[in-house]
């Protein structure tokens, strides 16, 4: 029998953050690259009536101010509300329900609907990070979990192309962070060290899955990545538990990493790369304090669906929904392709320079 080749033979990889396994089937990539590779249609011009633009009127009749940087407002259609009655106590353990209080906000990154993170300046992205920190500090005093997330692109369910994210704060710990909290806590009890801090150091030694790094941050394709070009952004210091812990140097380094990583994403398939991204850090709430969760390390996740081109995506269906996540190209192959993309000049700027 031939020796195992990770780029040719299917195998399982363990995700210690979520206590789950990923099926890697790289032999599926050995067939000719038959997916669509034509350029996507040109981006439509910005809608002058976009409800998220500065000065626009939203669906509820409220007018946005003429903001010039970031702008945060209560979500007009929130999934979480405060001051509502909770469900009664269950009469059987198989029919459990619990209160779900919280609040939802929308945060605009920029007044221009044509802007995206890779097209914004480092200073403009830094303003986004500063507002994230402010929101986490405010909401984190009252709520156990503050989820900052961005859905970019229509195929990720984004109904508005304006650059923005959402912030959902809840009095309960959602499933993903609850599992991560347990797994990281168990690792810390067993080894006496922080799981992701150890992981970052190993990845910096191996260099196989790193996409881009600077003095403060590293962006890499996780060893256990499920989505084709999934990346994780982690601080190098190994001890930052929450976004509110970020130093001025870390904030600027993060702004640079976000701009460069997203430029690589867009340049990969010459399109505005769709994704869902979000931040995971130590839980918050009135009983928490700085340094209270040594098992946690702050990190961002980018979960993009594109697989072969700007018009061919990976669907998490069938086997993924009923059995476990599965991917084709290996994380190392994905990292190499992203590493090879320019991070300094966005493809739109190259096109504009030729015209």
Catalytically annotated residues: 164
Task: Residue 25: name the closest of 336, 335, 329 by CA.
Answer: 329
Interatomic CA distance for residues 296 and 239, integer angstroms:
8
- Nearest-5° angle of CA 287, CA 288, CA 294? 145
Sign of CA dihedral 264, 268, 274, 275: negative
Structure tokens at 309: 């081109």
Give residues with Cβ within 8 angstroms of 76, minimum separation 6. Answer: 58, 59, 60, 62, 106
Backbone angles phi, psi at 19, to 5 degrees: 55, 50
Give residues with Cβ within 8 angstroms of 20, minimum separation 6. Answer: 14, 324, 325
Sign of CA dihedral 294, 296, 297, 298: negative
Strand ranges (E), 153-253: 164-170, 210-213, 217-220, 231-235
SS3 335: helix
Interatomic CA distance for residues 324 and 119, integer angstroms:
36
SS3 273: coil
Please give the span between the terminal C-alpha atoms of the chain, in angstroms, as a whole number: 56
Contact 352, 225 (CB under 8 A): no
| β 326-327/20-24 pair status | parallel
Give residues with Cβ within 8 angstroms of 129, minimum separation 6. Answer: 246, 251, 254, 255
Contact 284, 133 (CB under 8 A): no
């Amino acid at each position: 029998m031939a020796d195992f080749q990770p780029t040719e033979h299917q195998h399982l990889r363990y995700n210690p953050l979520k206590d789950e396994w990923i099926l890697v089937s790289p032999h599926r990539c050995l067939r000719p690259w038959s997916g669509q590779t034509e350029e996507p249609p040109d981006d439509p011009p910005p809608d002058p009536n976009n409800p998220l633009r500065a000065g626009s009127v939203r669906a509820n009749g409220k007018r946005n101010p003429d903001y010039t940087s970031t702008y945060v407002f209560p979500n007009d259609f929130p999934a979480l509300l405060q001051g509502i009655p909770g469900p009664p106590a269950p009469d059987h353990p198989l029919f459990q329900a619990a209160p779900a209080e919280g609040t939802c906000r929308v945060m605009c990154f920029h007044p221009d609907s044509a802007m995206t993170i890779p097209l914004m300046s480092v200073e403009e992205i830094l303003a986004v990070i500063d507002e994230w920190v402010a929101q986490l500090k405010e909401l984190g005093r009252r709520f156990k979990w503050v989820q900052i997330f961005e859905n970019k692109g229509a195929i990720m369910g984004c109904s508005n192309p304006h650059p923005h994210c959402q912030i959902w704060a809840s009095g309960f710990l959602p499933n993903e962070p609850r599992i991560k909290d347990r797994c990281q806590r168990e690792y810390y009890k067993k080894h006496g060290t922080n799981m992701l801090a150890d992981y970052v150091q190993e990845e910096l030694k191996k260099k196989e899955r790193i996409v881009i790094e600077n003095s403060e941050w590293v962006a890499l394709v996780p060893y256990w990545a499920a989505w084709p070009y999934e990346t994780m952004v982690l601080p190098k210091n190994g001890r930052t538990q929450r976004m509110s812990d970020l130093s001025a140097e870390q904030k600027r380094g993060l702004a640079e990493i976000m701009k460069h990583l997203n430029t690589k994403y867009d340049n990969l398939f010459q399109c505005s790369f769709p994704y869902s991204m979000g931040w995971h850090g130590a839980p918050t709430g009135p009983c928490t304090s700085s340094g209270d969760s040594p098992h946690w390390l702050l990190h961002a996740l980018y979960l993009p669906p594109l697989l072969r081109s700007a018009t061919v995506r990976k669907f998490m269906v069938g086997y993924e929904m009923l059995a476990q996540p599965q991917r084709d190209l290996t994380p190392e192959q994905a990292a190499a392709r992203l590493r090879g993309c320019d991070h300094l000049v966005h493809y739109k700027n190259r096109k504009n320079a030729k015209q």
